Amino acid sequence: MADIARTRDILADLVAFPTVSADSNLGLIAYAGEILSEAGARLSIHHDESGTKANLFATLGPEGDGGIVLSGHTDVVPVEGQDWTGDPFRLREADGRLYGRGTCDMKGFIACCLAMAPVFAERTLKRPLHFAFTYDEEVGCFGARALMEDLKRAQIHPAAAIIGEPTLMRIIEGHKGCYEYTTEFRGLEGHGSDPDRGVNAVEYAVRYVSRLMALAEDLKARAPAESPFRPPWTTLQVGLMQGGAARNVIPGHCAVEWEMRPVQEADAAFVKDNVQAYIDAVLRPAMQAISREADIVTHVVGEVEGLEPAPRSEARRIVSELTGLTEAEVVAFGTEAGLFQSAGVSAVICGPGSIAQAHKPDEFVAVEQLSACLGMLERLTAKLV
């Protein structure tokens, strides 16, 4: 089994890379790639369009389908405005806890995987073991989405994926999706004394929001009978609305930030189809009857599929055998697991640390949690030889 001291050292190195989503992760990717390469893994690194970020996909063992993926994202949330006891990007240990940005979300899991790589390499693996480390999970799972396309092109078909988000080493089999949008209303400005000569972007945005709220009520009736989520239905909410310049000026622009969290993929289609039909049949024609330049444009911030509990899940069966746990739960937060599931890979979430510590100042992971994760990965070798 990997030494906990070695794991701690690797975690300290990982934390020292300030891989906030707005910045590059290439230093961390190179570091992880070197450890995996020294263990004999075959590496594949794919950059984003900017060239400043990359996914790392590495494989130990034979070629072929049916492998197991250990997956984690390399980016972390910002630290600005947070009151940290020490340097967020320097690992600090106290009372059995390791403090630093990303320690639980989710560099602790990545450190365990890297520490275990030489252990896996010593065995004669009969089944592929993949390591998938991605970029930009925190801002829309963009790296994981690109990874799914890369695996499809390479015709790599893993059987199961363990996503090591912080769950206190409990098994998580489901979470809602997270679909985020900005809908932009482009109207026609004018003097407030003659509203009919302009296209009031704020007023059309209000009508649009009213439609969203009506759909939010409709979604409650669509909740699956056995939905394990809380609340059991797909939620929809408006988080921000901005538009206008002054009370006596017809506003020519307004933007609405909104999101939905589907419990089932069909609900996302239900909302998008209904909203688009309302725009096409009602709002846009009324706006363009006054100004042909008026329009409504929706920008996709991110569409991350949920992880739907599966009655027969190889990933859940594997992790259940590794941990000894027989029960699985669902959570409110989103992960990359749904993308694996949508790509045909059985997925489950299980990793060290608590989500209650994620994104907060003085984020930490307990040393005992890392030890438990190392134990799970050690037992995984039996599934591979």
**Do the beta carbons of residue 75 and residue 136 sit within 8 Å?**
yes
80 part of the active site? no
Alpha-carbon torsion angle 58, 63, 65, 66, nearest 10: -70
Residue 257 bridge partners (DSSP): 182, 240
Contacts 24+ apart (CB under 8 A), 33-38: 33/58, 35/10, 35/114, 35/117, 36/114, 36/117, 36/131, 38/118
* Helix and strand totals (H; E) in the chain: 10, 17
Catalytic residue (one of 9, 34, 65, 75): 75
Residue 225 identity? A
Which residue's structure tokens are 């994760």? 373
Catalytic residue (one of 137, 180, 267, 308): 137
Residue 56 bridge partners (DSSP): 45, 133
Taking the C-alpha atoms of residue 43 and residue 135, their distance in angstroms, rounded to an integer, is 16
3-state secondary structure of 381: helix
Taking the C-alpha atoms of residue 168 and residue 149, their distance in angstroms, rounded to an integer, is 30
**Do the beta carbons of residue 307 and residue 162 sit within 8 Å?**
no
Other beta carbons less than 10 A from residue 336's beta carbon: 27
**Do the beta carbons of residue 379 and residue 112 sit within 8 Å?**
no
3-state secondary structure of 373: helix
Q: Which two tokens stand for residue 133?
A: 């480390």
Q: Which two tokens stand for residue 339?
A: 């993308």
Other beta carbons less than 10 A from residue 1's beta carbon: 13
**Do the beta carbons of residue 74 and residue 110 sit within 8 Å?**
yes
Q: Which two tokens stand for residue 10?
A: 């690797």
Q: Which two tokens stand for residue 37?
A: 């390469």
Q: Which two tokens stand for residue 247?
A: 């009370």
75 part of the active site? yes
Catalytic residues: 75, 137
